Amino acid sequence: MFCLNWIAKTICKLIDIICFIYSNLRYPSRRNKIPSVENDFLLIPAIEIAQRIKEVKLKALDVVKAYLTRIEEVNPIINAVIKSRENAIRDAEAIDEKLANERENQLENLSQLPLLGVPFTVKDTVYVKGMPVCAGLVSRKDETAPEDAPSVFNLRQAGAIPIAVTNVPELAMSFDTSNCLFGRTNNPYDLSLIAGGSSGGEGALISSAGSIIGLGSDIGGSIRFPALFCGIFGHKTTPGIVSTDGKYPTLAPGKAPLFSFGPMCRYASDLKPMLKAMAGPRIECLLKIDSNVDLSKLRVFYMLDNGNPWNSRVASETKNAILKVVSHFEKTYGVMCTNVNLEKMRDSFSMWSASLGEAKGTPMSVLMNDNKGEINLFLEIISKIFGRSSHTAVALGFALNEKIVSLLPKTNKISEIKELKQQLIDILGDDGIFLYPCFPEISVKHDTILFKFLNISYTTVFNVTSLPVTQCPLGLSKSGVPLGVQVAANEFNDHLTIAVANEIEKIFGGWVPPFSVNIK
């Protein structure tokens, strides 16, 4: 066993070294490229924007125009938006007109809307009526959404205004946002780095102040990777709280326990109001969402790595940042923090892969052809080698892996998943949180994720166990890119992770702008 672990660690280290040399030669660091911000309301939380609009101290039209202008400034650099929404201007004008009208019934109705006039963006797999829903597929370049997804509808009912649709990996099955239709999204802190995925367009745009809040989805870390790499907050909700209808590709029923929609934002104070707005009536399932959390009564558990020899080593800066969070809770609140070692967590990637296989959804090779029959994987891979395929290497690799796995004997991981979930339930109870790295490496260069795919085990563990998780920024590394930590809790205890996110922001500063601020 020791010998096998040593071999795995050695191979993994060699891959890391090769990727480091290759990527640094091909993609040298490109920092400080994002234009400065000169408009102060691009830098305030969504809830403050809404309040100022209600008090007629700020016009919704001015806010929407400012964000659309900001998109025009930053998008040529980060390539996060596939299309801006022209009707957003009309929506904002309608709000201002109603507020200008002094009829009391109208004012009273508008004052109750928690996100009145707040711009928001949506990833290109979720329906926004009349907007593209391509899912990064060349074959879907002309497809538009026939209606709003329920989550988008709920946000609009709360007064928010959709302003753009953002880039995703092909079929949203990658943690690097790149496709052959719209190209690659870049990290705003360093354009040579990935922005994460699959909600990578959201992460890059929000961090660049091109959006204030965004709707993401997460089946294996798709909210949390962009939140980590782009230095913002992202929350994977307890499954079932936010409707996941109105998306492409349609979710197979067996994948529902793995999948969630959730909020992405620059400021922790926006997590709860956005989650409540997205969920609509379903928020009643989170009975404690509005309860006050006494941080001194929390129990804190943490792990600094999962011990899997096939994963890259967790960066020392990430470990030190998490230990600072632990130290804060111990010293400030007298909380007992416990370092645990759950051995089953090292196997979370294979658990996740088995769960996807058990779900028996439409094969990737069929989805890649927009459900119009199966692509010829062999021919597509050959075409890709010669630069003539309309599919990404990652998507082809995922489809090939899916095909190979389907031919192998089935591995039943259900009992292992149940055991791990029960372990976490028993440890956390109703007053426990779990601190855990999101990704072992601080930064990932473009074109290297195929060799680092097993590293997503740090996020997939919370998908297979259906736990809510909030990804929180912890400042910047020595190289100037974001650090972060996942904060998990038991099902339906989303309020605990969000409360801790607010505390972490207060102590560690939260989002750090990847640009200069020049407000006169």
Residue 520 belongs to some domain of the structure: no
Q: What are the distances in angstroms from CA 85 to CA 47, 118, 205, 206, 376?
A: 22, 14, 15, 16, 36
pLDDT of 111 reads 83
Q: pLDDT per residue over 74-113, tens digit each? A: 999 999 999 999 999 999 999 999 998 855 555 557 888 9
Cα–Cα distance measured from residue 265 to residue 243, given in angstroms and rounded to the nearest whole number:
19
Residue 326 belongs to some domain of the structure: yes
Number of domains in the chain: 1
CA dihedral sign of residues 157, 511, 225, 134: positive
Q: pLDDT per residue over 37-62, tens digit each? A: 999 999 999 999 999 999 999 999 99
Q: pLDDT per residue over 111-140, tens digit each? A: 889 999 999 999 999 999 999 999 999 999
For the chain, the average pLDDT equals 94
Q: State mean pLDDT over 242-258.
A: 93
Cα–Cα distance measured from residue 339 to residue 9, given in angstroms and rounded to the nearest whole number:
23
Residue 465 belongs to some domain of the structure: yes
Q: pLDDT per residue over 417-452, tens digit each? A: 999 999 999 999 999 999 999 999 999 999 999 889
What H or E segment, with its residue span, contains residue 482?
A: strand 482-488
Band of pLDDT at residue 259, cut at 50, 70 and 90: very high
Active site residue 477: no
pLDDT of 2 reads 61
Q: Which of 151, 192, 198, 217 is catalytic?
A: 198
The pTM of this model reads 0.96
Residue 264 belongs to some domain of the structure: yes
Helix (H, G, I), strand (E, B) or coil at 128: coil
Q: Which of 23, 54, 59, 123 is catalytic?
A: 123
Q: State mean pLDDT over 457-466.
A: 97
Q: What are the distances in angstroms from CA 386 to CA 181, 256, 376, 440?
A: 18, 38, 16, 33
Q: How many other β-carbons are positioned within 10 Å of the β-carbon of residue 77?
A: 16
Residue 439 belongs to some domain of the structure: yes
**243, 282 contact by CB (below 8 A):** yes
Q: State mean pLDDT over 341-347.
A: 94
Cα–Cα distance measured from residue 330 to residue 20, given in angstroms and rounded to the nearest whole number:
37
Residue 518 belongs to some domain of the structure: no
Active site residue 222: yes
Question: Of all residues in the chain, what percent are helix, strand and coil, respectively (each to 5)?
Answer: 45, 15, 40
315 Ramachandran zone, left/alpha/beta (phi>0; psi -120 to 50): beta
What is the extent of the structural domain holding 136? 2-281+294-508
Which of these ranges, 98-107, 233-242, 252-261, 476-485, has the smallest mean pLDDT? 98-107
What H or E segment, with its residue span, contains residue 82?
A: strand 81-84
Contacts of 232 (CB under 8 A, 6+ apart): 203, 206, 207, 226, 264, 265, 266, 473, 511
Cα–Cα distance measured from residue 167 to residue 211, given in angstroms and rounded to the nearest whole number:
13
Band of pLDDT at residue 409, cut at 50, 70 and 90: confident
Residue 513 belongs to some domain of the structure: no
Q: CATH number, domain at 489?
A: 3.90.1300.10
Here the tokens at position 163 are 């302003």
Q: Which of 222, 243, 365, 457 is catalytic?
A: 222
Segments of 328-444 assigned E as strands: 337-339, 432-436
- Say whether pLDDT at 374 is over 80: yes
Q: How many other β-carbons are positioned within 10 Å of the β-carbon of residue 134?
A: 26
pLDDT of 102 reads 58
Give the ranges where 144-300 is alpha helix by DSSP (H): 150-157, 200-207, 224-229, 271-279
Name the burial class of residue 428, with classes exposed (0-12), middle (13-18) and buried (19+) by CB atoms within 10 angstroms of its CB: buried
Band of pLDDT at residue 71, cut at 50, 70 and 90: very high
Band of pLDDT at residue 19, cut at 50, 70 and 90: confident
Residue 240 belongs to some domain of the structure: yes
184 secondary structure, DSSP code: E
pLDDT of 1 reads 59
Active site residue 123: yes
